[in-house]
Structure 1
Amino acid sequence: MSYTNKPVPEEIKRWNWGAFMFNIIWGFGNKSYLPLLVLVPLLNLVWIFVCGIKGNEWAWKNGDYDSVETFMKVQETWNRAGFIYFIISIIMAVLFFIFFFTTMMAMIATSASHGY
């Protein structure tokens, strides 16, 4: 592992949607293995947020970037993909709950009309 103690520029210390949504894949792609802790039950509920918050710092320290601009271009791809995946996940969850509750209400209405 090539982890360094090099200082992390302030403009890098921001939320990373790629590290949040694709934590394990993002971790391997950025030579950062702390995201593997999402595999620990219950810890994972908190750790995904830690990955989103600290991801850029871990990637900066583990990577060999010649400039902040180069780093940000690489992470921008991860950020865009992670954010799009997040939005799709929210939409799918909403659709699932609408379908689930609609189905449950139809079943209740059917059983009530049959006198069950």
Structure 2
Amino acid sequence: MIPSLELLTWYYRGNVMSSGIKTAKPPFSLEENNSGRGRGHPVPRQIKGWSWGAFLLNWVWAIGNQTWIGLLSLVPYVGIIFMIILGFKGREWAWRNRKWEDLEHFNRVQRLWSVWAVVVVTCTFLLSLIWILYLLI
């Protein structure tokens, strides 16, 4: 595996002495995978960000990523607000609630969720538009 640029920068700034003793704690590296360990463990900075998969496919995404709090999006009125919360916090919760092979695997899976979310919403919109046009004609 290729180490992250952040880890290499940390290493070459002189944070490792010639004897190999680390002088400061490095940023998240690919070697320390703390996914699936729950709340008490830090989430890597690369994980944080918006999740279109969690926002658009909220309850399906929640089941697929073992993020059971996402099922609150099924509750009327609360669901609309919770969709936005899932969009903002979903990636972090998915990292904490499920064991991932590594950071690349996590990003690849979340990217697929985002692609499928956009595909499903686009197809739904187009089918609705076709149905409305059919009713009008």
Separation in 2, partners of 1:16, 1:86? 14
In structure 1, distance between residues paired with 2:127 and 2:39: 40
Cα distance in 2 for residues equivalent to 1:70 and 1:94: 36
CA distance in 2, matches of 1:51, 1:81: 16
Of the three residues 82, 85, 88, the one matched with 2:123 is 88
Normalized against structure 1, the TM-score is what?
0.72
Whether the aligned pair in 2 keeps the contact of 1:16 and 1:52 (CA below 8 Å) is yes
Q: Following the alignment from structure 1 to structure 2, what is the Cα–Cα distance between the partners of residues 97 and 49?
A: 28
Identical aligned residues as a percent: 31
Question: 2:82 is matched with which residue: 38, 42, 47?
Answer: 47
Q: TM-score, normalised by structure 2?
A: 0.62
Q: Where does 1:28-39 land on structure 2 (aligned, <5 Å)?
A: 28-39=63-74
Task: Give secondary structure in 1 for the equivalent of 2:120.
Answer: helix
Distance 1:96 1:48 in 2: 26
* Residue matched to 1:74: 109
Aligned-partner Cα distance in 2 for 1:97–1:45: 25
- Deviations, residues 22-60 of structure 1 (Å, cap 9, x unaligned): 222221221111111112111112211221221111101
- The answer for unaligned runs of 5 or more in structure 2 is 1-35
SS at structure 2 position matched to 1:10: coil
Q: CA deviation at 1:6?
A: 2.0
Runs of 4+ in 1 over 6 A off after TM superposition: none
Higher RCO (CA 8 Å, separation ≥ 6 residues): 1
Using the alignment, how far apart are the partners of 1:25 and 1:75 within structure 2?
A: 13
